[in-house]
Amino acid sequence: MTTVEILRALVAFDTTSQRSNLDLIDWVADYLAAHGADVHLVRSDDGRKANLLARIGPDAAGGMVLSGHSDVVPVAGQSWRSEPFALVEREGRFHGRGAADMKGFIAACLSAVPAWQRDRLKRPIHLAFSYDEEIGCLGVPRLVDSLKARVQAPALAIVGEPTGMRIGVRHRGFFGHRALFSGLAAHSSDPSLGASAIEPAAHLVTRLARLRRSLDRQGQRATLNVGRIDGGSAINIVPGCCEVLWEFRPEDEAAAERVRTAVHRILAALPAGVKVEAEQVAGVPALSARGNEPAVSIARTLGALWPEAELPFATEAGFFQQAGIPTVVCGPGFIAQAHQPDEWIAADQLRAADGFMASVGAWAMRDVAGRLHASRRE
């Protein structure tokens, strides 16, 4: 199957994050097994979703991990010219939910598998496809744990998020937080009978805004945003509950710890009388350029574009880096087309990805010392 044919099949699966991804994962697993790959599924606790880990080539160290996520963002509330879950070509662009982010990359990986299997690879190529990346990389930690247990030390990982085939060498992390305030509802004609949950929530929001301005003044490469406040039930009722959701994006773990410490102090200083429960609901580590030189060097030899880029969005790359694997981000398409109505990827980007995958195969035909193994191709 060609990359476009596989992309058409992948887009047809509605893998919006709140839905199961098993139909897509089973299809991919069957495809890979039919081409002789070693396939392993890592299921979620409830069994509704699964990560996929596959190996093409020998069970050996020094291979390459190609990572992508199977889930997509919702289409609700968006105006599409065509059915979102049916790939449509218009003027050299392939439209469909996930075409750019990031089923195009997965399709390019899968279409290359038959050629990789015909070659006598000296180094393995590992495919690592996760679930629930779009809502906080929830499946990736379990996938990386399985990778560490089943795979001999890879030389590098490439996360195929849409970068226009440029090499992404760093990005900030993402940490989402939730605070639930529980007060006491009462008729507003006598507020003394209740305890407002909104007032301390407003205090938290004000302090978080002050912290954000402080980070800006100090020139720290971290951002903070209060994204949602939900509380109260009516204008004449003292609100008994209020929820605040916020996130921050640090450049590294040291910056993350500084923000966590500041937030902890803010929570500890909130007015008494209302119960507050605070928790982290999502955590995605930053990707650092330090230590990734081997991955950058290899990606450049494969045809990835440079100069290297600092990415404005978070990816699962930091998880692989934390596992000791040099990691870069590089994939077809552009983030500006992701998550949008009529999401699309250009045909020339898919062709570039196909060329990249051919180079991956050529790289894997050489041993660690760079010696080329004879091909099985006729």
Active site residues: 71, 133
Question: Torsion-angle region of residue 232: left (phi > 0), alpha (psi -120 to 50) or beta?
Answer: left
- 344-346, strands of its sheet edge to edge: 88-90, 93-95, 344-346
Q: Given the structure tokens 């529980």, which residue do they identify?
A: 182
What is the identity of the amino acid at 262?
A: A
Cβ–Cβ < 8 Å for 4, 88: no
- Strands 156-159 and 327-329, sheet pairing: parallel
Of 180, 167, 203, the closest CA to residue 326 belongs to 167
A 10 A CB-CB count for 193 gives 12
Cβ–Cβ < 8 Å for 119, 374: no
* DSSP string of 277-329, one letter each residue: EEEEEEEE--B-STT-HHHHHHHHHTT-EEEEEEESS--THHHHHHTT--EEE
Query: At CA 148, angle to CA 30 and CA 13, rounded to 5?
Result: 30
Supply 122's token pair. 């000296």
